[in-house]
Copies of this chain bind each other. A is one copy, B any other.
Amino acid sequence: MPVNLQPPGKGDLLPICGVLLGTAEAFIKKPDRKDLLLIQLASQAAVAGVFTQNRFCAAPVIVAREHLASGKGIRALVVNTGNANAGTGEPGLAAARATCAEIANLLDCDADQILPFSTGVIMEPLPLARIIAGLPHCIAGLREDNWLDAAHAIMTTDIVAKGVSRQITLAGKTVTITGIAKGSGMIHPNMATMLGYIATDAAVAQPVLQQMVRHAGDASFNCITVDGDTSTNDALMLIATGASDAPAINEADGEACAKLQAAVTEVAILLAQAIVRDGEGATKFITVRVEGGSNVAECKQIAYAVARSPLVKTAFFASDPNLGRILAAIGYAGVQDLDVQRLKLYLDDVLVAEHGGRAASYREEAGQRVMEQSDITVRVALDRGAAAATVWTCDFSYDYVKINASYRS
């Protein structure tokens, strides 16, 4: 079960004026589940996004990038689960384009005003006919108050739906931000993860929005790992409908922009953490904080080495304070001139290691106490500078193997 994660309930996800959502049961992989989502946007909406850096990126990622670059207003996003449409070559691209063309036809706009997204199994042909058959059901069900339903329709191995809303005040006007995400395995994002959609009724110029989504992605989805596998389909999209009464944000500086950036980033972080808390087989949520580094890159390198180590992650699963494994991971992270005599390792408030070895004050009972918690912070103080980075991960359990040994069945 997800680790200390309260899934959104009815009414928790606030509607965003200018965003309509409709779902359908298209039987893409399994019967009796919603697996197709259409998000329709008001004509003035601005859209920005960041995508996977995987060279085998999925057909919909290629098409979505193209359509975003066309500069026309985006009118709809379509998301299917059950099939990633990745590693599908030219036929996959054709299927993604055909999906967009069909929606454009139904909504009376151009195909490059539609952004497609897919998640699910890789290297299997997209069942295009089922998707096209499902689209009228999505359109018939389009509603503003439908985010929870949408969060369910994009799940794959997720146990719970993921979504969060926040409201802030800009120039005396209320602005709402709502985001949903999916993801549980193949999680080690490289620019964004599979899949996050955040919308606000603030008015934001597209270049500013692009900068905003990049910042939010770097501080959230780019700080998590479940299994070290970067998905072919990662995408994080930020939509600004401009339907609120708050003044438009046209520049990347100023108080309103900073305030909105902070709220969007907070939503992104909560969604990214929700993915880790619902990581495949997760029983623990682990924050790895590396501080006192010469630069952020080396802090992140060390944090990811610890967060990805199967040995560290199985020790957390077992609640076993076998903390030498953390030292080993720090040591192989690849920071060539790291002085292990100077660094300190903490487990929550417990000093575990210093001067290259176990701290004199460390007692196994203290480590054991922290290891038995479900939320744990590993803190590494490098004592060589002022930079810091945080990565969130989960433990590695029997159930991770079980889920991924039987994913297609």
Contact surface of A with B, Cβ cutoff 8 Å: 53-57, 84, 86-92, 121-125, 185-186, 188, 190, 227-232, 308-311, 314-315, 317-318, 320, 322-325, 327-333, 335-336, 338, 340-341, 353, 355-358, 396-398, 400-402, 404-409
With contacts A121-B322, A327-B123 taken as known, whether A317 is within 8 angstroms of B229 at the C-beta atoms is: no
Q: Find chain B residues with CB under 8 A from A90 CB.
A: 355-357
Residue with the greatest number of chain B CB neighbours at <10 A, chosen from A88, A325, A336, A402: A325
Bound Cα distance from A190 to B334, whole angstroms: 11
A320-B55 in contact (CB<8A): no
- Nearest CB of B to A54, in Å: 4
A308-B86 in contact (CB<8A): no
Bound Cα distance from A357 to B126, whole angstroms: 12
B400-A332 in contact (CB<8A): no
CB-contact partner of A407 in B92, B190, B322, B336, under 8 A: B322
Known: A121-B322, A123-B324, A190-B332. 20 other contacts (CB 8 A): A54-B328, A55-B331, A55-B333, A56-B331, A86-B328, A87-B353, A88-B357, A89-B357, A92-B357, A121-B324, A123-B323, A124-B324, A229-B332, A232-B327, A318-B406, A320-B406, A320-B408, A396-B401, A400-B401, A401-B401
Q: What copy number does this chain have within its complex?
A: 2
Residue with the greatest number of chain B CB neighbours at <10 A, chosen from A87, A333, A407: A87
With contacts A308-B228, A340-B56 taken as known, whether A327 is within 8 angstroms of B87 at the C-beta atoms is: yes
Q: Find chain B residues with CB under 8 A from A340 CB.
A: 55-56
With contacts A124-B324, A356-B87, A357-B91 taken as known, whether A311 is within 8 angstroms of B232 at the C-beta atoms is: no
Q: Is the interface of A mostly helix, strand, loop or mixed?
A: loop
Bound Cα distance from A398 to B405, whole angstroms: 10
A331-B407 in contact (CB<8A): no
Q: Find chain B residues with CB under 8 A from A405 CB.
A: 314-315, 317-318, 320
- Nearest to A228 among chain B residues (CB) is B310
Bound Cα distance from A88 to B318, whole angstroms: 23
CB-contact partner of A54 in B190, B310, B331, under 8 A: B331
- Nearest CB of B to A34, in Å: 23
Bound Cα distance from A55 to B308, whole angstroms: 17
Q: Find chain B residues with CB under 8 A from A315 CB.
A: 404-405, 407
